[in-house]
Chain A
Amino acid sequence: MNDNIVEIDNLSFGYGNRQLHKGINMRFPRGKVVAIMGGSGSGKTTILRLIGGQLKPTAGEVRVDGKVVHQQSRQEIYNLRRKMGMLFQFGALFTDLSVFDNVAFPMREHTNLQESVIRDLVLLKLNAVGLRGARDLMPSELSGGMSRRVALARAVALDPAIIMYDEPFAGLDPISMGVIVNLIRNLNDALGATSIVVTHDVHETFAFVDYIYFVSDGVVVAEGTPDDLRNSNLPFVHQFVYGEADGPVPFHYAAPDYRRDLLRSTHA
Chain B
Amino acid sequence: MIRPSLAALRIGFRQVFAYRTEVVVQLVSASIVAGLNGSLWQAAIGGQETVAGVPGPEMLSYVVMAWVAVTFFATRVNEEIGLRFRDGQIAADLLRPLSLQLNCYARDLGRAFAVLGLQTIPLFAMCLLVFPVQLPERPSTWAVWLLSLLLSHLANFGLSFAIGVAAFRLHNITGLTHLKATLVSIFSGALIPLELFGERWQPLVYALPFHSFAHTPASLFLERDVPVGGLLAEQALWAAALWGLGAFAWNRAAHAMTVQGG
- The yes or no verdict on A and B being binding partners is no
Interface residues of A, Cβ cutoff 8 Å to B: none
Interface residues of B, Cβ cutoff 8 Å to A: none
